[in-house]
Amino acid sequence: MNDSELNECLDALGERWPEWEANSTIIGDWRFALRPYSRETALAAIREHRIEYAWKEPKLKNVRDLCEAKEPRRRSGRPTPQKHDIWIKCVEDGQQIKAGYMTQLITACPCSPDRALDIAHENKQKYTACYGGAWQVIQGDFAKSI
C-alpha cells in the first residue's frame, strides 16, 4: 500500500474513533502494520473491527488479524507455494517404497514451467538416492488419472 492509501486508512480510523488520540509513534506502528495489505483489505478490516468489537479505541492487533484473514500471504511476506501439473512417480520398487507411489511437485514460490521441470528432475534424482527404485517425471493433468 502506498502512502496516500495509508493516509486514507488512518483517516478512516479517525472518523470511526473521533476521541482517539494517537501520537506519532502509534501512527507509525499503524502505518508499518497496514502497509503489506491492500487498501481495500485494510479499510474493510477497520470497518469490521468497529462494527464487531466497538472498542473505545482501535486495536492494532485486531485490525491486523482481520487483514491477515483476508490476505494471509501478505503479512508473512512469503510467497504462496505453487502446485504444478508435474508428478514424480515410483515405477520400480525400492528399498523403502513401492512402485505406484506418486507425489505432485510443489515449489516454495511461483516459477516458470521450465524451472519447475528442472526441479522435478532434481527431485527425481534425490528420490532415487534416498529411496532406491526407479522414478519417472510425468507432466500434465493426465497424471492424476494414473
Note down pLDDT in tens along the chain; length 146 residues: 888 999 999 999 999 999 988 899 999 999 999 988 889 999 999 999 999 886 788 999 999 999 988 887 544 566 678 888 899 999 988 777 788 888 899 888 778 889 999 999 999 999 998 888 899 999 886 545 54
**pLDDT attached to residue 77:** 60
DSSP the chain: --HHHHHHHHHHHHHH-TT----HHHHHHHHHHHTTS-HHHHHHHHHHHHHHH--SS--HHHHHHHHHHHSHHHHH-PPPPEEEEEEEEEEE--SS--TT-EEEEEESS---HHHHHHHHHHHHHHHHHHH-SEEEEEESGGGGG-
List CB contacts of 135: < 8 A, sequence separation 6 or more: 88, 89, 90, 91, 124, 127, 128
- Please count the structural domains in the chain: 2
Domain stop point among 57, 76, 95? 76
Domain stop point among 45, 76, 107? 76
Q: Are residues 33 and 19 in the same domain?
A: yes
Q: Are residues 89 and 116 in the same domain?
A: yes
Q: Are residues 56 and 95 in the same domain?
A: no
Q: Are residues 95 and 137 in the same domain?
A: yes
Domain stop point among 21, 42, 76? 76
Q: Are residues 37 and 72 in the same domain?
A: yes
Q: Are residues 23 and 72 in the same domain?
A: yes
Q: Are residues 133 and 69 in the same domain?
A: no
**pLDDT attached to residue 47:** 93
Q: Which domain holds residue 39?
A: 3-76
Q: Are residues 108 and 125 in the same domain?
A: yes
Q: Are residues 88 and 135 in the same domain?
A: yes
pTM: 0.51
From the CB of residue 132, how many other CB atoms can be counted at a distance below 10 Å?
Answer: 15
Q: Are residues 39 and 62 in the same domain?
A: yes
